[in-house]
Amino acid sequence: MFLDPEFLPVYESLPEMDVFADVRGARVALAAASGDGKSDGEVNVEDREIRVDGHALSLRLYTPVTPVSRSVAPLPVAVWIHGGGFVLGGPNAEDATCRRLTAELGIAVVAPDYRLAPENRYPAAFDDCYAALRWVADEADALGVDAARVALGGHSAGAALAAAVALAARDRQGPGIRYLYLGYPVLDDRLETESARAITDPKLFNRQGAAAGWELYLQGSDPEAGYAVPGRAKDLRDLPPTYILVDGADPVRDEALEFAARLSAAGNSVELHLVPGVPHMFDVLAPDIRASRRAVAAWTTAFAHGVGASGDQARGDAR
């Protein structure tokens, strides 16, 4: 397995781990390493709560303190779905990403605190994320956001949920989605690709981890039914312009590449960025290496264009 030379010191320092073996402990550790979700000088942060099918769904709303362009209102908005293998995380887990997009692009970001597995199997997380999209569209005027400039995004399992929501919005004639960002997406429970078979290193997200996440999320649900597994979707026509970030040393690499090819063959606009020699979540594990800086700068710029952010405000050191 080829690894980027700049990533090797990080790789050597990583312990062997299996977050799915101790979900409770992994949640505690992730919470300690996450953002605080508080307002600062650049970003206002507000927690909201809505009712979804009889239960409460918390949403975190990020808005810029000073809009990038006062002449452009209302703001573009991104519904940002956190990762965590369907079992970990909450809005704080990707607080830094949501805060950065808000500050750099001058957009609003809404992050749903969707129900996690194994306590809640499919379709709980999907239903919550779709409800968050509907809420943004329904409350656009009150939120000061533009219902015609709504993007969906997420990493890993968050990207799987974003893809599922995009499919449902198309089928249900739901809210329009202007742009879709899928960061190293977990898309297919079958794990039949070459990369799924090859990436088994216990220091990295591997085949075992991918399989465990799907098992805890589905818990016997029919993977062919509804929007459980985006990679199994038969019809990929009429989806939003999509950017897919893929890691070279990732068990889900090949399923993401296949999904991108299928999206393109179905007539969609697809931009694909394959980063060689880096594993799942490389930008989190090694944010300062050149591969991470270049990849984050590239997808952020594409996201700014895709959501219609004013002035192409994406910044980043891609050197």
Active site residue 280: yes
Rounded CA gap, 80 and 280, in Å? 18
For the chain, the helix, strand and coil percentages under 3-state DSSP, each to the nearest 5: 40, 20, 40
User: What letter does residue 193 receive in the DSSP assignment?
Assistant: S
Positive or negative, the Cα torsion across 208, 211, 212, 213?
positive
In this structure, what token pair is assigned to residue 258?
């296949």
The single-letter code of the amino acid at 39 is: S
Active site residue 247: no
Task: Give the CA dihedral 240, 246, 251, 255, nearest 10 degrees.
Answer: 40
In this structure, what token pair is assigned to residue 13?
């320092």
**Strand locations in 167-227, DSSP E?**
179-183
Are 102 and 93 a contacting pair, CB within 8 Å? no
- Give the sheet arrangement for strand 75-81, strand by strand: 43-52, 55-64, 108-112, 75-81, 145-155, 179-183, 242-249, 270-279
Positive or negative, the Cα torsion across 204, 257, 269, 128?
negative
Active site residue 156: yes
Q: Which of 4, 128, 156, 254 is catalytic?
A: 156
The helix (run of H) or strand (run of E) holding residue 276 is strand 270-279
Rounded CA gap, 83 and 299, in Å? 17
Q: Which of 4, 188, 280, 310 is catalytic?
A: 280
Sequence-ordered list of residues with C-beta below 8 angstroms from that of 7, at least 6 positions apart, any chain: 277, 278, 279, 282, 285, 286, 289, 291
Q: Which of 250, 283, 292, 310 is catalytic?
A: 250
What is the set of active-site residues? 156, 250, 280
